[in-house]
Amino acid sequence: MLILLNNMPHANHLHGEAQQKAAEYLAGWQRSRAELDNFKKRMQAGLSQQQEQQLRSMVEPLLGLNDNFRAMVAHVPADLRDHPWVSGATHIARQFNDILTSFGVVTLEPLGEAFDPRRHEAIQHVEGSGQASGTVVEVVQAGYQLRETLLRPAKVKVAQ
């Protein structure tokens, strides 16, 4: 039967139309597949961005609390350092910082580093510090970064 159709004049015409239709359907399917892949990528990027924003809005209000814990630990009077209450409070401060770290928060402590205006806020220039000009000589307030996003620049004093 197939041999008979190939010998018929209109069979080649039908075969060509079928191939053309098949090519059209294949091209349409490939376009649809590419559009679906692009849609999935856009949705995933949007979801990632939304999750990052939610994490940021959750973490930012906690930064001040972490600052207070850090200040509390740094200013424990020498005669109370071995007191069990102080040990417990220090442990809580460490746990809180560990939780922030588990969320991807990095504390910026740039003491001794070159001043970077993208990550640091200079609040004072210090002369006669013995450090090279442009070096951070004191961190007044730590900065914080969430993955690649700067949440708050470190407030620093810089050598003049």
Provide the whole-model pTM. 0.72
For residue 14, the model assigns a pLDDT of 72
Cα torsion 124, 126, 129, 132: sign: positive
pLDDT, tens digit, for every residue of 109-152? Answer: 999 999 999 999 999 999 988 899 999 999 999 999 998 899 99
Residue with tokens 């040990």: 87
- The C-alpha angle 137, 139, 142, rounded to 5 degrees, equals 155
CATH class of the domain whose range is 106-160: mainly beta
Residue among 118, 122, 152 at smallest CA distance from 135: 122
Measuring CA to CA, how many Å separate 17 from each of 9, 20, 31? 14, 5, 21
Give pLDDT < 70 ranges for the chain: 1-12
Sequence spans of domains, the chain: 106-160
* pLDDT at position 128: 85
Q: Who's near 44: CB < 8 A, 6+ residues apart?
A: none
Can you give the pLDDT at residue 11? 59
